[in-house]
Amino acid sequence: MSSRLRVFQLINALRFGGAENMLIDLVETIDDVEFTVGYMEADDDLVPELIEAGANVESFNEAFRFDPQALTRLRRYLSTESFDIVHAHLPYAQTIARLAAIGTGVDGVVSTQHNVASNYHPVTRATERATRSFDSATVAVSNGVERSFTGSAHPPNKLGDSWCTIYNGIDVERFGQAVETAETAPLRAEFDLDSAALTLLNVGRYVPVKRQRDAIQVVAQADFDATLLVVGDGPLKAELRSLASQLGVADRVHVTGRVPNVAPYYAVSDAFVAPSRGEGLPITLLEAMAAELPVVATDIPGIREVVEDGATGTLYPTDELAAAVRAVEALQDDALRTSYGTAALNRARSVFSVEQMATSYAELYAHVADNGWRPAF
């Protein structure tokens, strides 16, 4: 075996998102692995960043899901490139990567599950489950994700079974520095932000599971003035803007759409709100913690492993909007915000660093390469 492993990562598309950004972090942080990143769909927003990080990038140009021509191109590519490990992300890419890798000479297949099982389409979930036996190891990004698939979980970042949990991580210091040095004057002027009033932030796809509607409702129901920045993109953009107008808070709720740089938005904010009903382990919460923001979030698996209730923020029952309002109102207290923010930063550094994540994956790659195709933990 070569001293430098060759790892092929496959994902549905290279649009902006938590799973996609994790690829960049692994490429940048693991020095003794040569990475190639493949993607099936047309979205290629992150290609320049991956190339800059040092990865080779390959598109398989599928015309539709399970496009036989694209699958043939993928299998031919794996057969000729002599990769040691195939590492697949998200159920669709996992299904086709497992099937394509058979007989191509790779030492093993690793899959990472980024969200709880119930958040995936039933058909996609079924095909992933039917092909999972081809994995050498299946990784969950949180214990909550692992339990949703298997009913149990292993200690985070400890290898020991065909399943394991490896927490997502970010470069805490780099992101914190980006927030600290961000130019905020343009945003404060654009949204007429009052430094004496509370500014709330939500970052994520505008899709039903993220429940940004609840965050808008919180602003409408709070008994004090607060501003909400909803950063992201997705099919519910117009609906969210319409709701803010209907509730009479369009002047204080700004659904920004996609932005070129999120750091200034964290910099102008006082707290992060995450009303989601289903998460794996949200990178946006790690960013909030690195930015020393307290978090108000739903008490669900994935989030529960990140936010320490009463220490780094407040967790509330999913359908109890009044509890979310009370939690936000409590953050008018400067001392409480500072206490939560400091604890959040310390927790991000100790539990969710990119170095810890990368070390665990590097150990996993080496183990799979040494022990062969079948699950060996």
Give pLDDT, residue 1.
42
Tell whether the model's pLDDT for residue 2 goes beyond 70: no
Give pLDDT, residue 159.
63
Among the listed residues 82, 146, 144, the one whose alpha carbon sits nearest the alpha carbon of residue 112: 146
Question: What percent of the chain stands above pLDDT 70?
Answer: 96
Q: State the burial class of residue 188 (Cβ atoms within 10 Å of its Cβ: 0-12, 13-18, 19+).
A: middle
Residue that is written with structure tokens 């961000």 in the block: 182
Give pLDDT, residue 158.
65
Question: What is the rounded average pLDDT of the residues 211-216?
Answer: 98
Q: Give the residue, 340 or 119, on which the prediction is more confident.
A: 340
- pLDDT tens readout for residues 332-371: 999 999 999 999 999 999 999 999 999 999 999 999 998 8
User: Dihedral (C-alpha) 317, 321, 323, 329: value to the nearest 10 degrees?
Assistant: 140
Q: Which CATH class is domain 172-351?
A: alpha beta
Q: State the burial class of residue 299 (Cβ atoms within 10 Å of its Cβ: 0-12, 13-18, 19+).
A: middle
Question: What is the rounded average pLDDT of the residues 282-300?
Answer: 97
User: What residue ranges do the domains of the chain occupy?
Assistant: 5-169+353-371, 172-351
Rounded to whole angstroms, how far apart are CA atoms 23 and 190?
33
Give pLDDT, residue 376.
37
Give pLDDT, residue 174.
95
Rounded to whole angstroms, how far apart are CA atoms 176 and 160?
33
138 three-class SS: strand
Same CATH fold assignment for domains 5-169+353-371 and 172-351: yes
Question: What is the rounded average pLDDT of the residues 159-173?
Answer: 87
- Tell me which of 3.40.50.2000, 1.25.10.10, 3.90.700.10, 3.40.109.10 is the CATH number of domain 5-169+353-371: 3.40.50.2000
**Strands (E) located in the chain:** 5-11, 33-39, 56-59, 85-89, 108-113, 137-140, 163-165, 198-203, 226-231, 253-257, 271-274, 295-298, 313-316
Q: pTM (2 decimals)?
A: 0.90
